[in-house]
Amino acid sequence: MTRQQKKTLKMALSYLVIVLIGCLLLFPIAWMISCAFKTNEEIFGSIALLPKSFSFQNFVDGWKSAGSYTYLTYFLNSFALVVPTTVLTIASSALVAYGFARFEFPFKKQLFALLIATLMLPNSVIIIPRYVLFNKFGWVDSYMPWWVPAILACYPFFIYQLIQFMRSIPRDLDESAYIDGCSTFRVFWQILLPLMKSSLFSAGLFQFLWTYNDYFNSLIFINSVKKYTVSLALRLSVDAESVVVWGRVMAMACVAVLPLVLLFFAAQKYFVEGIATSGLKG
C-alpha cells in the first residue's frame, strides 16, 4: 500500500468516526422529532424510530396549550425577556471590556481579579440574596432581574471574552485615530466595535442561548402564567394534565428549539470566528 493510499484510508476512517459520533449525538433530536408525531401508546409501546403516520395534530393541540394562553404568548414573553437582555449585555460588556483593555486606572489589577473571581460563584450561592434584593425592589414577577444586571454588565464571562479579543487589536489603530482628532468614545464606536463583530456575535449568541433556555431563574422570579417563558410553558404542559400527552410536549419542544437552531446557523460564521480568536492576545 502506497503512502497516498494510507493517507486516503486514514482520512476515510476519520470521516467515518466523525459521522458515527454525529449520528449518535443527533439521535436524541431525531427521537424528539419522531415522538412529536406519535401517540403515547406508540411512544411507549414501540421501539421504532419512525411513526406509523405523520400527523400535525400534536402541534395544533400543543400550540393551544393546557392553560388559558397559547404558545404565541409564551414565545412573545421569551423574546421580550431574551432580546433586551442580550442587546444590553453586549453593550455594557463591550464598554467595560474597553475600559479594562485600553486604559490605566487605580486598582485596575485588583478590580480585574475581583471580576474574574465572580466567575467562581455558583448560582446556587447567590440566588437567595438576589431574590431578597429583587423582592425589596419590587422586581419579582417581572423581567427586571434580567434586564438590570445586563445594563450593569453583571456577566463577567462576556467581559473577559471581549477583553481578550480587544487585546488582540493593535493599539496603533487607537493612536492613529487620536492623532486624527477622534474622541475616546468615537475610537470605541467607529474603530474597535467593527473589528469586534465576530466576538460580539459569539457573546450575543451565548447569552441568547443561556437566557432562552433558563428554567431555574424563570421559575424563581416569574410567578404569573401570563408572563411565563417557553421553558416554563413546557413544564406547565406536563403539570396541567393528569395524563401527559407526550406527543404534544415533544411537538412544542421541537418548536421551542427551532429559533435556536435557526439563530445558530445564521450566525455560525461569526460564532466560530469569535470563539477561535477570543483567546488570542497581541
Q: Where are the domains of the chain?
A: 3-60, 65-277
pLDDT band at 282 (very low <50, low <70, confident <90, very high): very low
Would you say residue 237 has pLDDT above 90? no
Lowest mean pLDDT among 97-111, 115-129, 145-159, 229-243: 229-243
Backbone angles phi, psi at 55, to 5 degrees: -130, 135
What average pLDDT does the segment 100-104 reach?
90
C-alpha cell at 167: 487585546
Tell me: the pLDDT tens digits for 183-198?
888 999 988 888 888 8
CATH 1.10.3720.10 matches 65-277: yes
pTM over 0.75: yes
Lowest mean pLDDT among 41-45, 240-244, 248-252: 240-244
C-alpha cell at 144: 427586571
Would you say residue 279 has pLDDT above 70? no
Residues 6+ apart with CB under 8 A from 234: 249, 252, 253, 256
Would you say residue 104 has pLDDT above 80? yes
Q: Residue 228's pLDDT is what?
A: 93
Tell me: the pLDDT tens digits for 4-51?
888 888 899 999 999 999 999 999 999 999 999 998 888 888 888 888
Number of C-beta neighbours around residue 179 at 10 A:
8
253 vs 6, which has greater pLDDT?
A: 253
Q: Residue 239's pLDDT is what?
A: 67
Would you say residue 278 has pLDDT above 70? no
Q: Residue 191's pLDDT is what?
A: 87
C-alpha cell at 187: 475610537
- How deeply is 115 buried, as exposed, middle or buried, from its count of CB atoms within 10 A (0-12, 13-18, 19+)? middle
Q: Residue 241's pLDDT is what?
A: 61
Q: Residue 123's pLDDT is what?
A: 85
Going by the DSSP 8-state scheme, the letter that residue 245 receives in this structure is -
Would you say residue 125 has pLDDT above 50? yes
Q: Residue 281's pLDDT is what?
A: 44
